């Protein structure tokens, strides 16, 4: 016990305080927000599927290039996740969070979130007659890995 107290006093003298010691010993590693663009055109979500890393902050940017209104309905994918919405879209929220995001013709909307649970998720446009479906795959990824000379860190449709 006495040696632990002496060790703490010596470390505090060297670094100033316990907070400073923690900040010095364990520097935070910041990752940039991963921006992923989905173009809505000819009543399709392009590209699909989207591959997203679990635990990393993502900004999903939806650009409506069609001449009509479309909706992004995440089908439970964003349930109970904190989201930040930006752009010309009109979000609709329910008990579990974002339920629907309407995006006008020529408009865009971004959704910033941090996917936590790995799995395969569907999203769609629920406007009558549109029948548009897309897919999001959330996986745990190392920062980068290579095998047989190919980079498998992220598909090319995801911009880092």
Number of H helices, E strands in the chain: 2, 13
User: What confidence tens digit (pLDDT) does each residue in 35-77 have?
Assistant: 999 999 999 999 999 999 999 999 999 999 999 999 999 998 9
Whole-angstrom distance, CA of residue 94 vs CA of residue 106: 26
- Second-level CATH architecture of 34-143: Sandwich (2.60)
User: What confidence tens digit (pLDDT) does each residue in 92-114 have?
Assistant: 999 999 999 999 999 999 999 99
What predicted TM-score, i.e. pTM, was given to this entire model?
Answer: 0.71
Q: Mean pLDDT throughout 10-25?
A: 47
- What sign for the dihedral angle of Cα 139, 81, 97, 80? positive
Domain ranges of the chain: 34-143
């Amino acid at each position: 016990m006495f040696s632990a107290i002496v060790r703490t006093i010596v470390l505090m003298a060297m670094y100033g305080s316990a907070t400073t010691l923690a900040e010095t010993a364990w520097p935070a590693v910041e990752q940039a927000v991963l921006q992923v663009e989905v173009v809505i055109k000819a009543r399709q979500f392009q590209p699909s599927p989207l591959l997203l890393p679990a635990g990393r902050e993502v900004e999903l940017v939806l650009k409506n290039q069609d001449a009509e209104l479309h909706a992004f309905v995440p089908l439970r994918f964003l349930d109970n996740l904190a989201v930040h919405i930006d752009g010309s879209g009109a979000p609709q929220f329910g008990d579990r969070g974002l339920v629907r995001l309407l995006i006008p013709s020529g408009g865009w909307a971004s959704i910033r979130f941090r996917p936590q649970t790995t799995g395969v998720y569907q999203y769609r446009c629920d406007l009558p007659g549109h029948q548009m479906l897309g897919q999001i795959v959330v996986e745990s990824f190392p920062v980068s890995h290579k095998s047989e000379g190919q980079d498998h860190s992220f598909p090319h449709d995801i911009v880092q």
